[in-house]
């Protein structure tokens, strides 16, 4: 998330002078959070290593553990079960945290992908040192599986260098499955490992 996005969120409560101070304060806070290893940046991915999409796009910022978000917002199980959208965002952050850990174990890196021109988006990309990569969509419930498969299929069709593996990570799923039409795997979060 860009600093200007964070500042825009507080803009209506600030005067012009306070807004300038807010911009510096947000930068300072982010710097402190990074130095304390409380946030993790998920950089943008592009198959072209010199692309402005890889070096110019802003990173997705995450707390290193979604439980920190739950604690700071005083979220309980009951509150999350009544707010499916927030629960889904936290589940996505949890899955991306796990993917980051597993990627580190395998000498890989975690990215995100978004093409502003076409609207293509992939929640997580894990790239390895040899250039191979995997694409992941993350959905809390099975209701979003077909949409996720569609998103990954569109990405596959449009990207120049194809992923070695594509997967939809789901919160509730009986077992690892494979979509017969696309070959995309559907995997419960609990079955992930390096």
Same domain, 11 and 43: no
Q: Are 187 and 178 in contact (CB under 8 A)?
A: no
pTM higher than 0.85: no
Orientation of helix 3-10 relative to helix 16-35, angle to 10° = 130
pLDDT of residue 55: 45
The count of domains in the chain is 2
Same domain, 178 and 148: yes
Q: Whole domain around residue 15: which residue ranges?
A: 1-36
Quick one: DSSP state of residue 40? E
Same domain, 7 and 23: yes
The mean-pLDDT minimum among 3-7, 147-151, 176-180, 190-194 falls in 3-7
Identify the burial level of 110 via C-beta atoms within 10 angstroms of its C-beta, where 0-12 means exposed, 13-18 middle and 19 or more buried: buried
Q: What is the pLDDT of residues 94-105, one digit of tens each?
A: 999 999 999 999
Q: Which two tokens stand for residue 182?
A: 């696309």
Same domain, 124 and 170: yes
Dihedral in degrees, nearest 10, Cα atoms 154, 157, 158, 163: 100
Please enumerate in sequence order all residues whose Cβ is within 8 A of that of 58, keeping only pairs 6 or more positions apart, or say none. 1, 2, 44
Same domain, 6 and 98: no
pLDDT of residue 97: 93
Same domain, 76 and 169: yes
Same domain, 161 and 178: yes
What percent of the chain has a predicted confidence (pLDDT) above 90? 51
Quick one: DSSP state of residue 57? S
Q: What is 18-38 written as a DSSP string?
A: HHHHHHHHHHHHHHHHHHTT-
Same domain, 16 and 84: no
Q: Where are the alpha helices (DSSP H) in the chain?
A: 3-10, 16-35, 52-55, 66-72, 77-82, 84-105, 145-158
Same domain, 123 and 74: yes
Same domain, 102 and 136: yes
Same domain, 64 and 107: yes
Same domain, 23 and 119: no
Identify the burial level of 69 via C-beta atoms within 10 angstroms of its C-beta, where 0-12 means exposed, 13-18 middle and 19 or more buried: middle
């Amino acid at each position: 998330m860009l600093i200007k996005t964070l500042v825009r969120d507080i803009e209506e409560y600030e005067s012009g002078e306070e807004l300038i101070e807010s911009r510096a304060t947000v930068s300072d806070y982010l710097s402190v959070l990074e130095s304390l290893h409380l946030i993790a940046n998920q950089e943008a991915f592009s198959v072209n290593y010199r692309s402005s999409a890889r070096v110019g796009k802003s990173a997705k910022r995450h707390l290193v553990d979604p439980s920190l978000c739950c604690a700071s917002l005083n979220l309980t199980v009951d509150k999350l079960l009544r707010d499916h959208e927030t629960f889904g965002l936290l589940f996505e952050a949890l899955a991306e945290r796990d993917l980051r850990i597993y990627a580190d174990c395998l000498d890989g890196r975690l990215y995100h992908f978004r093409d502003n021109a076409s609207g293509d988006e992939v929640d997580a990309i894990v790239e390895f040192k040899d250039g191979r990569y995997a694409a992941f969509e993350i959905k809390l419930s099975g209701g979003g599986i077909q949409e996720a498969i569609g998103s990954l299929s569109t990405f596959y069709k449009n990207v120049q260098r194809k992923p070695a593996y594509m997967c939809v990570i789901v919160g509730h799923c009986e077992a690892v499955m494979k979509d017969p039409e696309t070959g995309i795997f559907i995997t419960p979060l609990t079955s992930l490992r390096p």
